[in-house]
Structures are given as C-alpha cells and as structure tokens.
C-alpha cells in the first residue's frame, strides 16, 4: 500500500523542503522505492529544486501544475489532467532519478488560496473543500510506494487537502523557540481534523533540523521536546538530527548537476545524516 507522508511546520525556513526533497531522493535512489513528491507550497521551493525552472514555468502556463487543479474548482472548469501534470524522473542527481516523480506547485496558488473556502462544501466535503487533491490523484496512487507532501507553513485548505490523504505527518523543526512554538497547534488541529474526517493520520515525529551542537538553546529545546515526547504530549523526536551546514543550502540548486547523492549532499556528515534519517523513517512506517 502507498504510504503518504506530509511534512509540516507552521514556521517557514526550518529546513522542511530540503528534508522532504532529500528523503524523496534517498527513498527512491538508495531504497529503490517509487516516490512521488507533491509540492503544495506556493513558494514552489521543492518544485524548483527538483526540476528545471523554465520547464516548470511553461507547465504552469499550460495548466499543468497544482494551480489548475484548484482553479478548476473555483472556475467550474476541468482543465487539470494529472497524467500531464506529473513530471517523471526528477532531481538534479544523475540527470533525474528514475523512481522519483513530482507534482509541481505554482506561485499562483498564493492568489487563489484565499478564495478556496468559497467553494461550496458539497456532499463529500466536511466543512471545506479538502478532497480536491484526493480526487485528482486517487487514480495514480498505486504506482507509488511513497508520496511525500511538502506543505505550506499554515493549516489552510491547501494544506488540509494534503493532510486528508496522508497516513502520517512529519514535523521538521529547528530546535528554537519560534520554530517549535506551533507544534501544539499542529498536533491539536490535525487531531481534530482526523476526528472530523474519520481517518487515521499518525504523527511520525519531530525531526530536528539546522542543529548547532554548540548552541545551549538548541540543546535545551531538544531536551524539552524529548520530555514532552516521553509524556506523550508530543510525538517522538527522531534520533537522527540534521545539522546546520553550508553544503545543505547549496544542495538545493537544481542547475548544478551531480552524479550521486553523496556528491549532492557532500562527503561529510550531511549525506550520512540523510541516509540514517531515511532508514529511521522506514523503521516507523
């Protein structure tokens, strides 16, 4: 069965997209899983780090990104075609990873996201149109072992469309006050949503990103998260921690082609850390 995992944090800039892309690449290349990345974030960072920007802009203009899917609902049209929208063999590693596909996002989602609540909640909608994504991709799901959804940093309708189809969600977070601030809100809101729609969405855990070993704050926040996890207030904190490095930031550049994941993520710790993170993730799902 396809395992669908959303990554979410209410704060931007916590390394969420980088982690989602890396997990997708490691699952597909190192573990031979068939993976689809769905970029729900209007910031389109996952999209442009996995595919050529010019090709993406053309697709966006042709109605072959998620913008068209949501626009169809507003305009009562049906232009979106999932088979045309999905980009096969994405990533700058090895000229594209055979097992890795992408459903691209669009900057245009920023403009339409506020109008989405105006779509009438029909028979299949709970209180808002949260099944749009499910209806669009249900026909292709069985082609994949994993679907990773990069959510925007909010719990709006677009995010809920991703959560709706997810079996699990991951919370990447920098171990500081602002990045962990929204965790109770995420847990509470998704738990309520889960009750409303009557399906099971399991919090897989918190993954520490951009960790600085010398930082007293980072270490004390991690300690605090672990205490809350041990009291079942929070989900588990992953054993694997992604450190802050210069190399990771460079890895997001699609225009730099590399041959291997080791080359992309550097010969140092980062490659190993993502490799271990992927294995840890696989041990929980």
Ligand X SMILES: Nc1ncnc2c1ncn2[C@@H]1O[C@H](COP(=O)(O)OP(=O)(O)O)[C@@H](O)[C@H]1O
Under the rule (CB under 6 A), what is the footprint of ligand X? 12-18, 45, 209-210, 242, 244-245, 248-249, 252
Q: How far is the CB of 244 from ligand X (least distance, A)?
A: 4
Of the candidates 146, 131, 172, which has an alpha carbon nearest to the alpha carbon of residue 8?
Answer: 172
Q: How far is the CB of 254 from ligand X (least distance, A)?
A: 12
Our CB check for ligand X shows the closer of 131 and 179 to be 179
Give yes or no for a contact between 110 and 97, defined as CB atoms under 8 angstroms apart. no
Q: Report the DSSP beta bridge partners of residue 39.
A: 150
DSSP code string of 240-253: ---B--HHHHHTT-
Question: Which of Mg ion, ligand X, none is residue 207 near (CB under 5 to 8 Å by kind)?
Answer: none
CB atoms within 10 A of CB 185: 11
Q: How far is the CB of 154 from ligand X (least distance, A)?
A: 12
Q: How far is the CB of 219 from ligand X (least distance, A)?
A: 17
Interface with Mg ion includes 18 (CB under 5 A)? no
| 81 SS3 class | coil
Our CB check for Mg ion shows the closer of 13 and 184 to be 13
Q: Is 263 exposed, middle or buried (0-12, 13-18, 19+ CB in 10 A)?
A: middle
Q: Report the DSSP beta bridge partners of residue 173.
A: 208
Q: How far is the CB of 91 from ligand X (least distance, A)?
A: 15
Could you give the angle at the alpha carbon of 155 between the alpha carbons of 73 and 275, nearest 5°?
105
Question: Which of Mg ion, ligand X, none is residue 28 near (CB under 5 to 8 Å by kind)?
Answer: none
Q: How far apart are the first and last CA of the chain?
A: 11
Give, as ranges, the residues between 33 and 52 that touch Mg ion (CB under 5 A). Answer: 45
- Of 10-18, 124-132, 198-206, 250-258, the segment contacting Mg ion by CB under 5 A is 10-18
Question: Which of Mg ion, ligand X, none is residue 209 near (CB under 5 to 8 Å by kind)?
Answer: ligand X
Our CB check for ligand X shows the closer of 53 and 233 to be 53
Q: Tell which one of 6, 17, 92, 278 touches Mg ion (CB under 5 A).
A: 17
| 38 SS3 class | strand
Our CB check for Mg ion shows the closer of 42 and 205 to be 42
Q: What is the C-alpha separation between 235 and 217, in angstroms, rounded?
A: 21
Which tokens is 81 given?
Answer: 């075609």
Q: What is the C-alpha separation between 64 and 56, in angstroms, rounded?
A: 9
Q: Which residue lies nearest Mg ion, judged by its C-beta?
A: 17
Q: How far is the CB of 183 from ligand X (least distance, A)?
A: 14
Question: Which of ligand X, Mg ion, none is residue 141 near (CB under 5 to 8 Å by kind)?
Answer: none
Number of Cα atoms under 13 Å in the Cβ half of residue 138: 7
Q: How far is the CB of 235 from ligand X (least distance, A)?
A: 18
Interaction site with Mg ion (CB under 5 A): 16-17, 45
């Amino acid at each position: 069965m396809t395992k669908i995992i959303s990554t979410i944090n209410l704060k931007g800039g916590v390394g969420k997209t980088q982690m989602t892309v890396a997990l997708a690449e490691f699952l597909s290349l190192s573990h031979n899983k068939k993976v689809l990345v769905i970029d729900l974030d209007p910031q389109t960072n996952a999209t442009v780090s996995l595919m050529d920007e010019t090709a993406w802009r053309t697709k966006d203009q042709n109605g072959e990104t998620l913008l068209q899917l949501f626009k169809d609902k507003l305009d009562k049209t049906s232009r979106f075609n999932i088979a045309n929208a999905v980009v096969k063999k994405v990533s700058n590693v090895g000229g594209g990873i055979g097992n890795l596909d992408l459903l691209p996002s669009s900057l245009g989602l920023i403009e339409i996201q506020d109008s989405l609540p105006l779509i009438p909640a029909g028979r299949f909608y709970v209180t808002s149109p949260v099944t749009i994504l499910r209806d669009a991709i249900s026909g292709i799901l069985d082609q994949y072992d994993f679907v990773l959804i990069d959510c925007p940093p909010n719990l709006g309708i677009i995010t809920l469309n991703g959560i709706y189809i997810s079996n699990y969600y991951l919370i990447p977070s920098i171990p500081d006050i602002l990045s962990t601030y929204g965790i109770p809100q995420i847990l509470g809101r998704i738990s309520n949503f889960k009750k409303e729609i009557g399906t099971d969405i399991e919090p897989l855990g918190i993954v520490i990103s951009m960790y600085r070993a010398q930082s007293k704050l980072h270490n004390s926040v991690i300690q605090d998260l672990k205490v809350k996890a041990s009291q079942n207030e929070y989900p588990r904190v992953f054993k694997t921690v992604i450190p802050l490095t210069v190399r990771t930031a460079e890895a997001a550049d699609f225009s730099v082609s590399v041959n291997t994941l080791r080359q992309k993520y550097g010969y140092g710790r980062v490659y190993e850390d993502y490799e271990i993170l992927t294995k840890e993730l696989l041990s929980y799902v």
